């Protein structure tokens, strides 16, 4: 799953720590999200969506695996 968390965070002039504090998660969680190593829970995805004022689909892009 790809996401735009880093892009949206930078647009707001936030560092990872500030975003983590706002979302009540660790900075490491934000770092892992931005690097694509962690997929958020549905609760966290909704928190991120509300924080940035964007639909979840505008932040997180699900890509199906090609099983040919």
SS (H, E, C) the chain: CEECHHHHHHHCCCCHHHHHHHHCCCHHHHHHHHCCCCCCCHHHHHHHHHHHCCCHHHHEECCCCCCC
Residue 63 has what pLDDT? 80
Q: Which CATH class is domain 2-61?
A: mainly alpha
Question: pLDDT by residue for the chain (68 residues), tens digit each?
Answer: 899 999 999 999 999 999 999 999 999 999 999 999 999 999 999 999 999 999 999 999 988 776 66
Q: Give the residue extent of every domain in the chain.
A: 2-61
């Amino acid at each position: 799953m790809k996401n735009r968390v880093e892009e949206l965070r930078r647009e707001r002039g936030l560092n990872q720590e500030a975003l983590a504090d706002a979302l009540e998660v660790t900075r490491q969680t934000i770092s892992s999200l931005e690097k694509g190593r962690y997929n958020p829970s549905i609760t966290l995805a909704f928190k991120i969506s509300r924080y940035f004022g964007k639909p979840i689909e505008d932040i997180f892009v699900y890509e199906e695996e090609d099983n040919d």
